[in-house]
Amino acid sequence: MTNDNNVLIEVRDLKTYFYLYEGTVRAVDGVSYDIRKGKSLGVIGESGCGKSVTAQSTMRIVPSPPGKEVGGEIVLHLEKGPVDVLKLNPNSDEMRAIRWKEISMIFQEPMTSFSPLFTIGNQITEAIKLHLPGVSKKEMRERTIELLDKVGIPQPSRLIDVYPHQLSGGMRQRAMIAMALSCNPKLLIADEPTTALDVTIEAQILELIRGLQEEFGMALMYISHDLAVVSEMSDEIMVMYLGRVMEKATANEIFNNPLHPYTQALWRSIPAIEGDLKRLETIKGMLPSPYQVHKGCPFYSRCEHRMPGLCDEARPPLYQVSPTQTVSCFLYDKSAKAATPAVARPEAAAS
């Protein structure tokens, strides 16, 4: 554990498995990360790589059964001292007090994040009533109107009383953000908040989240499969693949010096705006079945630089390449004689 008192949340070796009829899905399999107070962490990866489950585990809202956090720790540094969230019962008063008050979340689907049966105002004040006791009805309403105004909803004193189906998708996502901010959380998790919106609205929402993060001094965990968006939103970026962390670095490093073959492949599959038109490269092979258990690196079957006998036999640890960049790949093992970092090894890939 670090003694750094600027750390808000420390996640160590988090494992969240889903026990399904067809087999066990290791949705999150040994993920570690820190988020410092007021800073932002971007999480990127394909669908099914465990980004959302990681976030849900932090709030202990993984549907259980079939999901279960089977190992690791999530230490949250609160004012009263550190708490390991994984040791709490998900239904306990202590855990419920952490939700929304300390960590809140914006979801992917603005269309369904609100219940259609109650007004926007009802659902926002509900959170305030729950976590800030002693606030009068009038104050709650004023606070809600203020929040709606802050997220750019026009006529907030009228729209507080509308039902979700009367708002557009973008407006609903703004209302969702207002709800997420209602109790001044220390950490805001944004789980692909713009996936369901069109591009112009997306830009507005990103702008809004960034501005509010600064204003409220919150830490931000931004989850997306959009590389450009994540690097714009985050100080630090974590690349995930099949429930594991592949690479972790500052946004700059990930952009200019991606080290892991998977990160490199991701970059190559983005169309370039400048230069000649080229056929877009894709990552070879298929995403392995989620039920498969990987003894070695999960990216082995699709990796261009794979080293048979090494990569498929043991799980690569995280190698510290620079003070801020870590990568989980044997190519960066300084002790191994084969190690020539970031240089392609075509003879190994040929097998």
What does the binding site for other proteins look like in residue numbers (CB under 8 A)? 59, 61, 63, 91, 96-101, 104-105, 107-109, 112-119, 126-127, 130-131, 163, 165-166, 176, 179
Q: Which is nearer to other proteins, 87 or 268 (CB)?
A: 87
Instruction: Give dist(CA 272, CA 214) in Å, integer.
Output: 31
Q: Which is nearer to other proteins, 89 or 292 (CB)?
A: 89
Q: H or E segment at 319?
A: strand 319-322
> Radius of gyration of the chain from Cα atoms?
21
CB of 103 to other proteins, least distance (A): 8
Question: Tokens for 156?
Answer: 């907030």
CB of 232 to other proteins, least distance (A): 25
CB of 180 to other proteins, least distance (A): 9
Q: Which is nearer to other proteins, 59 or 246 (CB)?
A: 59
CB of 176 to other proteins, least distance (A): 8
CB of 259 to other proteins, least distance (A): 35
CB of 207 to other proteins, least distance (A): 23
Q: Which is nearer to other proteins, 179 or 212 (CB)?
A: 179
Q: Which is nearer to other proteins, 86 or 98 (CB)?
A: 98
Q: Quick check: 29 and 243 in contact, CB under 8 A?
A: yes
Q: Which is nearer to other proteins, 8 or 265 (CB)?
A: 8
Q: Is the alpha carbon torsion for 220, 225, 231, 233 positive or negative?
A: negative
In the chain, the amino acid numbered 273 is I
CB of 64 to other proteins, least distance (A): 11
Q: Which is nearer to other proteins, 99 or 150 (CB)?
A: 99
Q: Quick check: 108 and 49 in contact, CB under 8 A?
A: no
In the chain, the amino acid numbered 51 is K
Instruction: Give dist(CA 260, CA 254) in Å, integer.
Output: 10
Q: H or E segment at 130?
A: helix 120-131
Compute CA distances 94 → 63, 89, 109, 123, 133, whole Å: 19, 8, 28, 22, 15
Q: Which is nearer to other proteins, 157 or 166 (CB)?
A: 166
Question: Tokens for 278?
Answer: 């080229």
Q: How many helices (H) and strands (E) does the chain have?
A: 11, 12
Show Cβ contacts of residue 181 under 8 Å, excluding neighbours closer than 6 positions. Answer: 104, 147, 150, 151, 188, 212, 216
Bridging pattern class, strands 103-106 and 219-224: unpaired
CB of 61 to other proteins, least distance (A): 5
